[in-house]
Amino acid sequence: MLIIDLHIHIRKSLPDSEWVWEQWPGQQQMGITAEQCIEKMEACTPKIDMALVFGLRSLASESMESMRSENDYILKVVEAYPDRFIGAGVIDPSWGDKAIEELKRFAEAGLRVVKIRFSSMHYHANNKAGQKIFAEIEKLGMLPVCHSDWTHYSNPLVLGDLAGMFPELKMVMQHFGEYLSFDAISVCKELDNIYVDTSALVHSKNVVKFIEDVSPDRIMLASDALSIRGGLQPQCALNRILGLGLPKEQEEKVLGGNAIELLKSVGVNL
């Protein structure tokens, strides 16, 4: 059985001269490189076999160049480590048609998953820009993985409204609504095209509630790791699931089985 972490942010390491100008003296460079990420996956018990990886900075991008550069790094590491990484491109939809061009570019280069965080740019997910980008994603047959939280912009109800406009398009509601897990469950009961990941989930027992009230087939292990230490880490995310004592069949689905089915459905080779 493969164990897949469906949510890790990675970035290339920059020389001091390129990053220190935006950091206070004494601060460490933020982020995990692809190689550091693999080390982390190997160090977990049980080890994590594969991860869905994507950038972080371009969730709200100051320029198209920076968005492209970050996505290029993902393309590069997926090619270098095909047995460890599934790649997702990051899109900041506030760039409109330029963002759609970038979406098409990395889709053509082979990425089948796209990450969007509407609250980064203060966009309500169900606004016109959100609908436009989802229409393009649907045309390309890709999988959108969208950050969810408690804000006006990307809470489960707003994301659910967007997903409801595209009933044939599967979507991952990342973080399971964070503090709004019950709202996420309500939305997912009504819309069977929404999946959830378990990253940043506050109450782990809500995984059991999701399985009982919604489905055992639409919930997936994820960590949201984005730093070497502190914050959210893959081992902690694994423990969140392993500590529940789920029946073996359900546990295997959450740890990797569901992700494999979902990723294969959009053309990812696993």
Partner 1 sequence: MKIDVHNHIGIDPAYEEDTTAKQLVEEMNGAGVDKCVVFPFTTNPDIEEQNVVVGKAFEEYPERLIGFFTMNPRLPEMTDLMYGYKEQGFMGVVTDPRFGVGHDQKRFHELVECALVLELPVWLHSDDKDTMRVYIKSLEDMLNKYGGVSFILSSMYYDAVGIATRHKNTYLDTAASMSGGMTATVSQPVGTHRILMGSNSPYGLLKREIDKLEVIEELTKFQKKLIYSENAKRLLKL
How near is the Cβ of 155 to partner 1 at its closest, in Å?
10
Kindly list the strands in the beta sheet with 143-147, ordered across the sheet, starting from the edge strand earlier in the chain.
4-9, 50-54, 85-90, 113-116, 143-147, 171-174, 194-197, 219-220
What does DSSP assign to residue 256? I
Contact call for residue 124 and partner 1 (CB under 8 A): yes
Is the preceding peptide bond at 15 cis, omega within 30 degrees of 0?
Answer: no
Residue 145 within binding range of partner 1, rule CB under 8 A:
no
Question: Rounded CA gap, 92 and 186, in Å?
Answer: 28
Residue from 19, 81, 150, 182 in contact with partner 1 (CB under 8 A):
150
Q: For partner 1, which residue of 29, 33, 36, 151 counts as binding (CB under 8 A)?
A: 151
Q: Given the rule CB under 8 A, which of 7-15, 148-156, 203-211, 262-270 is the region that contacts partner 1? A: 148-156
Instruction: Yes or no: say if 116 and 67 are a contact pair by the CB < 8 Å rule.
Output: no
In the three-class reduction of DSSP (H, G, I as helix; E, B as strand; rest coil), residue 114 is classed as: strand
Taking the CA atoms of residue 85, residue 175, residue 196 and residue 50 in that order, the dihedral angle to the nearest 10 degrees is 20
**Interface characters, 56-95, with partner 1 (x: CB under 8 A):** -x-xxxx-----------------------------x-xx
State how beta strands 50-54 and 194-197 pair.
unpaired
Residue keyed to tokens 């919604």: 214
CB of 249 to partner 1, least distance (A): 38
Binding mask 191-230 toward partner 1 (x if CB under 8 A, else -) reads: ----------------------------------------
Q: How much is the CA Rg of the chain, to the nearest whole Å?
A: 17
Closer of 7 and 253 to partner 1 (Cβ) = 7
Closest to partner 1 by CB, 81 or 179: 179
Residue 43: CB minimum distance to partner 1, A: 30
Question: Given the rule CB under 8 A, which of 22-30, 138-146, 161-169, 259-267 is the region that contacts partner 1?
Answer: 22-30
Based on the shown chain and the rule CB under 8 A, indicate whether residue 123 belongs to the binding site for partner 1.
Answer: yes
Q: Which two tokens stand for residue 2?
A: 């493969």
Task: Return residues touching partner 1 (CB under 8 A).
Answer: 21-24, 57, 59-62, 92, 94-96, 119-124, 127-129, 150-153
